[in-house]
Structure 1
């Protein structure tokens, strides 16, 4: 149990740090702020379920700790309801503004009801209702991309919470392993986008190393001496920009027009042509339009494609 507690603590800390960090680098929106609130409230719930904290809150029978635990999940649910309302396409701006006021007020009223009645069923049904609403709204946003996978994970964790409370709305044991599973899934969902971004950026830096070193050897001005990114994601973005700039400079910066290059080639064929050109004799001119990112591809994906063909060309020649 101690090991699991530390795992939950680490994941919750990562979730809160990731969501607060997201707010510092992106303009705050209702959805981003609500996810951060949900992560913080979930971390509080995770703390309350640990025996040490539970004994401090409720040294006698543990009922107060259970009510505080459910209260934390009410806050998580209220934040989740705001996220779902913001994502629901049928909600107008005016309706969303009203919901932004009413949903927190409903959560506060629910917390007061739990306190006055000493009954967690009021909070349980609020959590279940919000969970079902979020599941209905969120299913359409599940997709095979970082955000879609994060939404799928969040909904999976929410589904576990709803199932636990539906099994017994009037009484729950915070130390139930299913609560731990729900917290772990939700924590991973809250920080999965940032985790995937880090792994993707690391892959870009690793895959483009040979291509970048070649261009940097010919054009050392690509790297500014007074600016070096230390964050992996930003470093990868800088690497992509530097490679695109380096390719343009290597092609003569558009000063050597060529009329015999077919720019209607497929992206893969263009990447192979560029790799062959880079591996060819120094100073061979190439049409700069060939280097531009093809429609439908991001700059990062285009650069990775060129780097892959560049490495493949090296292994072929050797």
Structure 2
């Protein structure tokens, strides 16, 4: 059952990547990611014993030795390594957008040739190609690691690829010890390791989409009270012709609406001498803006200088800071 579930999850990831290509320009790298994840999904599907048996039954009875489905699995991993190598090639400084297409055609051509040789001659050769491709991908991934949304996705994807490379080397080693057992439409040892690798690759491929969605949901939850209060005061900042959008666009719209409402409440850009210059401390500045937003008729005075996002922080981060301070000041007022 876990094999079927793994295949399903990887196919879902492949579908998500297809959707991303539909809403954004289908560049060479984006198409390659779709091909790579689809290849992993194919490998995971064919590795299911029932599917492997169905593929092996396509051969005449006397030729059913289980190697056809095994060769298909190897070929799928070759396709994964080939497509991901195209993405990895795009990350190297010596490769420009202009020559990436030519390089991709060469890589794909080599991958197709390797698949033909694997199907017609030797799966061990195929595993060697997979291992070689995984080494190149892992080196490229390590060169591009950083603590960003993209960097975290690359780290997960590269980890899965490294696991595939290790397992491919073990398959080569096993091939020199004894021939693949008959009726095996999947690698002959430790399939859970292949499941983990497939899931890591699939999760890494859609990490950006998942993280941005989660962050947008958290942002909407953090700013909902502040947004509701300010929109109640200034409903004109909301476009009446807005239709349903994605979670990320909704979060961006609400951040912009909050900033517009604060700007209107401050007098539309009027600079007040009583307000004084804003401090360098983001927390202190956010506390004062939040208190002023909660009670605009109180003793706290704020002008447009205080509302402008401080240097080094994005409008989204600034609104989050104000929303957190607003919730804290509201809670303190309720306690008192």
TM-score range, shorter chain: over 0.9
| Cα contact 2:4–2:48 (8 A) shared by 1 | no
* Alignment partner, residue 23 of structure 2: 25
* Alignment partner, residue 307 of structure 2: 291
The secondary structure found in structure 2 opposite 1:184 is helix
Could you give the per-residue CA deviations for residues 104-147 of structure 1, whole angstroms, max 9, x where no partner exists?
Answer: 01001111111221x11221111111111111111022222221
| Cα contact 1:274–1:291 (8 A) shared by 2 | yes
Q: CA deviation at 1:272?
A: 1.2
1:48 paired with 2:51, answer no
* Alignment partner, residue 247 of structure 1: 262
Q: Structure 1: any 5+ residue segments left out of the alignment?
A: none
Moved more, 59-68 or 23-32: 23-32
| Cα contact 2:35–2:80 (8 A) shared by 1 | yes
Two-structure CA RMSD over aligned residues (Å) = 1.9
Could you give the per-residue CA deviations for residues 4-27 of structure 1, whole angstroms, max 9, x where no partner exists?
Answer: 124313421331122112212222
Q: TM-score, normalised by structure 2?
A: 0.87
Q: CA deviation at 1:264?
A: 4.6
Q: CA deviation at 1:279?
A: 2.0
Q: CA deviation at 1:159?
A: 0.9
For 1:51 and 1:218, the matched residues in 2 are separated by: 63
| Cα contact 1:14–1:191 (8 A) shared by 2 | no
* Structure 1 residues 85-234: aligned runs within 5 Å: 85-93=89-97, 95-117=99-121, 119-169=122-172, 170=175, 173-174=186-187, 176-234=191-249
For 1:163 and 1:16, the matched residues in 2 are separated by: 23
Number of equivalenced pairs: 314
1:280 paired with 2:295, answer yes
For 1:222 and 1:129, the matched residues in 2 are separated by: 56
Could you give the per-residue CA deviations for residues 22-79 of structure 1, whole angstroms, max 9, x where no partner exists?
Answer: 2122222222221111111111111111122111111222210011111111111111
For 1:276 and 1:152, the matched residues in 2 are separated by: 42
Q: Structure 2: any 5+ residue segments left out of the alignment?
A: 58-63, 181-185
Could you give the per-residue CA deviations for residues 168-225 of structure 1, whole angstroms, max 9, x where no partner exists?
Answer: 2246743722211111111111122211112111111111011001101101122222
| Cα contact 2:28–2:101 (8 A) shared by 1 | no
Moved more, 286-295 or 45-54: 286-295
CA 1:139 to 1:299, structure 2 compared with 1: closer, same or farther past 3 Å?
Answer: same
Q: TM-score, normalised by structure 1?
A: 0.92
The secondary structure found in structure 2 opposite 1:200 is helix
1:64 paired with 2:68, answer yes
Q: CA deviation at 1:251?
A: 1.2
Q: CA deviation at 1:234?
A: 1.8
* Alignment partner, residue 73 of structure 1: 77
Greater C-alpha radius of gyration: 2
